[in-house]
Amino acid sequence: MRELALHVEGHQIIVNLIDTRLTITYQVSSAGQLEGNTFWTVDAGDIEFRQRAREAAQTKARQLAWIYPFKIVA
């Protein structure tokens, strides 16, 4: 299984599958959730790549304190 490469640029997390053209760019929505930015997504690929990319981007977003590990309900 190929490795993912993550890059943080501004308020975006770019996930690439190494040695391929598979790329997805994520950003945090106004609701505080991570969402794929379809404008900056190139060759998004298959479901397995999308799932792995989202998990990696969520982990990175938590490390950067962009999103929280759980949702607080008042």
What integer pLDDT is reported at residue 69 of this predicted model? 66
3-state secondary structure of 43: coil
Q: State the first-to-last Cα distance of the chain, in angstroms, to the nearest integer.
A: 41
What integer pLDDT is reported at residue 68 of this predicted model? 76
Task: Give the tens place of pLDDT for each residue, 7-63.
Answer: 999 999 999 999 988 889 999 888 888 888 766 566 656 788 889 999 999 999 999
pTM, two decimals, is 0.80
Residue 38 DSSP label: G
What integer pLDDT is reported at residue 74 of this predicted model? 47
Residue 8 host element (H or E) = strand 4-9
